[in-house]
Amino acid sequence: MIITRAPLRITLGGGGTDLPSYYEEFGGFVMSAAISKYIFIAINRTFTPDYFVKYSALERVGRPGQIEHPIVREVLLAHDIGPSVEIVSMADIPSRTGLGSSGAFTVGLLHAVHAFRRDHVAAGDLAKEACAIEIERLGRPVGKQDQYVAAFGGVKSFDFTPDGQVGVSSLEASRETLYDLEESLLMFFTGYSRDADRVLVEQKARSESHDAQMIDNLHFVKELGLRSKAALEQGDTAGFAALMHEHWEHKKKRSTSMSNSNIDRWYQIGRDSGALGGKLVGAGAGGFLLFYSRDHRALRQAMAAEGLTEVRFAFDHDGSTVIARD
């Protein structure tokens, strides 16, 4: 049996500029942190001549091409390890919540398949192949940060060049700054991001049609991401928090479905309860509100009064890992 663990992520700056519709013309920049919430993939040899796939549904089929789960199907079409295999996925956080679960799932599954075949694979190769499956083969309107931060882990900066290359670098912040960031970021669940793909489809279409408002918005978000990186590397966490707020105000302008009245109200309550900055993590319309706050008690009490559940986390520095091999 092989079991892999791939981390989910929070975006710290530049989100949205990692989509090909933007970076292929202008180049993109995203800063992300892998967190201690994971997708687990297990692969086991069975005694039946088929493919048994367990996720939120159960599938038992005779050939990889018959698998309904699109990512599992494409991974096994590229790397057939069966038949007579069972593939099981589990997650600390459900999908459609804005934490990059699809990218982490793809990275974790690829890592498990390579380990099952006894092939060594580097983090960069995992991320590159995961992006090819989701973006090129499946045509999903997603960016590249999820796959790369799941593969590498840590707090990373990603530079996306027009020719498709991805530069990966660790945030050059002090240990004290990273501890402050880890301790001061609080995350609360608002509900599922049912409209996330629609938001990304809209952004993709408007970027490809050179919609001036969308392009200017993404230019500004990329600049904010670079300023956020500089603030953290200078130890200015309060300045970083202020940039989070500025980022969220501009992110909402990308689409009318980016936020809603409840999210806006919860965000304002968070600000009124001591949060120095914050934003919605993910494409929009649901998911998690992420705040930077030094008054943890007031913020937690305010969110609890609104019925929002907190999800506590630490940074993950391992990236996708094989945690069991038999």
Please check whether residues 49 and 36 belong to one and the same domain: yes
Work out the pLDDT band at 98, boundaries 50, 70, 90.
confident
The pLDDT score that the predictor gives to residue 197 is 64
Give pLDDT tens digits for 148-184: 999 999 999 999 999 999 999 999 999 999 999 999 9
Give pLDDT tens digits for 189-247: 998 765 566 666 777 778 778 888 889 989 999 999 999 999 999 999 999 999 999 98
Please check whether residues 181 and 210 belong to one and the same domain: yes
Contact predicate 271/166, CB 8 Å: no
Distance of alpha carbon 109 from alpha carbon 101, whole angstroms: 12
Please check whether residues 189 and 156 belong to one and the same domain: no
Distance of alpha carbon 105 from alpha carbon 92, whole angstroms: 12
Task: Say whether pLDDT at 274 is over 90.
Answer: yes
Average pLDDT over residues 9-36: 95
Place of tokens 């459609």: 96
Place of tokens 């660790």: 170
Q: 259, 249, 181: which is closest to 221 by C-alpha?
A: 249
Please check whether residues 13 and 154 belong to one and the same domain: yes
- More confident of the two residues 125 and 249: 125
Task: Say whether pLDDT at 260 is over 80.
Answer: yes
Q: What is the 3-state secondary structure (H, E, C) of the chain?
A: CEEEEEEEEEEEECCCCCCHHHHHHHCEEEEEEEEEEEEEEEEEECCCCCEEEECCCEEEECCHHHCCCHHHHHHHHHCCCCCCEEEEEEECCCCCCCCCHHHHHHHHHHHHHHHHCCCCCCHHHHHHHHHHHHHHHCCCCCCCHHHHHHHHCCEEEEEECCCCCEEEEECCCCHHHHHHHHHHEEEEEEECCCCHHHHHHHHHHHHHCCCHHHHHHHHHHHHHHHHHHHHHHCCCHHHHHHHHHHHHHHHHHHCCCCCCHHHHHHHHHHHHCCEEEEEEECCCCCEEEEEEECCHHHHHHHHHHCCCEECCCCECCCCCEEEEEC
- What does pTM read for this prediction? 0.94
Please check whether residues 35 and 184 belong to one and the same domain: no
Place of tokens 């929002």: 308
Please check whether residues 103 and 210 belong to one and the same domain: no
pLDDT > 90: percent of the chain: 79
Please check whether residues 185 and 77 belong to one and the same domain: no
How many folded domains does the chain comprise? 2
Tell me the residue length of the chain. Answer: 326
Full domain range(s) for residue 248: 175-310
What are the φ/ψ torsions at residue 88 (nearest 5 degrees)? -125, 135
Please check whether residues 167 and 238 belong to one and the same domain: no
Distance of alpha carbon 160 from alpha carbon 30, whole angstroms: 8
Average pLDDT over residues 132-143: 93
Share the mean pLDDT of the chain.
93
pLDDT > 70: percent of the chain: 96
Distance of alpha carbon 92 from alpha carbon 187, whole angstroms: 14
Please check whether residues 162 and 238 belong to one and the same domain: no
CATH assignment at residue 239 = 3.30.70.890
